Amino acid sequence: MAKKISKRLRSLNEKIDAAKSYDVDSAVSTLKGLASTKFDETVEIALRLGVDPRHADQMIRGAVVLPHGTGRTVKVAVFAKGIKADEAREAGADIVGDEDLAEEIKNGNTNFDMVIATPDMMALVGKVGRILGPKGLMPNPKTGTVTLDVAKAVSNAKSGQVNFRVDKKGNIHAPIGKASFETQKIKENMLEFVRAINRLKPASAKGRYIKNSSISLTMSPAVRIDSQELLEIK
């Protein structure tokens, strides 16, 4: 089995010029040609930023709604009560609750992809923060997941919102579509994502902001992108 996988990857590597940084159009077209599995692979973008996340003002974090979605069905849990809970349900939230939802999480039920909360629920959410935090599920105002407008937050989550956060080494990874998407849709999703990253460039960041960039499929090698082109996306 290992030999078969190695042969497949070797074949895919032959379709890429590893020494080349592709322009956006060529990168997406090349990536589309690497789809080689029986399932619909996820398209992921990876960026290395010239920031130092140890400084609070250089912690790049946010959210963006991709114009063509991610191709995933997103399960949303909402901490809310009263009218806000009703609004969340009407908007399509999969799980809505307050103390009962917190208890479910404590019992190990985290079968959802995003958590949204109204501000008054954050003290309660904090009690399960040790469970949600490591899973990347903790609501945060910067990603629009702590809000009074729960209907909009649920709608954004269901229609393709991607939350992102730079890691300790300045890297950001995010899904931007599926291999089955049309080339133009992958490109438009990627441009919208990069546009969101560029808007968050901290004034204190020194040197080149986007140092390296690439896109890949779940089971493919990465295709390098011309970072200068991405820096010019506004």
pLDDT of 215 over the 70 cut: yes
Query: Helices (H), strands (E): how many in the chain?
Result: 9, 9
- Reply yes or no on whether the pLDDT at 8 is more than 80: no
Band of residue 5 on the pLDDT scale cut at 50, 70, 90: low
Look at residue 3 and tell me whether its pLDDT is greater than 70. no
Question: What's residue 106's pLDDT?
Answer: 96
> Comparing 123 with 14, which gets the higher pLDDT?
123
In the predicted model, what is the mean pLDDT of residues 191-208? 94
Q: Given this model, what pLDDT does residue 131 score? A: 96
* Per-residue model confidence (pLDDT) at position 55: 92
The residues, any chain, with a CB within 8 Å of residue 109's CB and separated by 6 or more, are: none
pTM of the predicted structure, to 2 decimals? 0.86
Question: Does the structure show a pLDDT above 60 at 88?
Answer: yes
pLDDT, residue 9, reads 79
Q: 3-state DSSP: the chain helix, strand, coil percent, rounded to 5?
A: 40, 20, 40
Percent of the chain with pLDDT over 70: 97
4 pLDDT band, cuts 50/70/90, is: low
At 1, is the pLDDT very low, low, confident or very high (cuts 50, 70, 90)? very low
* Mean local confidence (pLDDT), 66-79: 95
Closest CA to 145 of 166, 187, 114: 114
Neighbours of 170 (CB within 10 A): 18
Separation of alpha carbons 8 and 84, rounded Å: 51
Identify the pLDDT of residue 2: 44
Best CA proximity match to 24, nearest among 210, 218, 219, 220: 210
Average confidence (pLDDT) over 93-111: 96
Task: Name the average pLDDT for the chain.
Answer: 93
pLDDT in tens, 144-179: 999 999 999 999 999 989 999 999 999 999 999 999
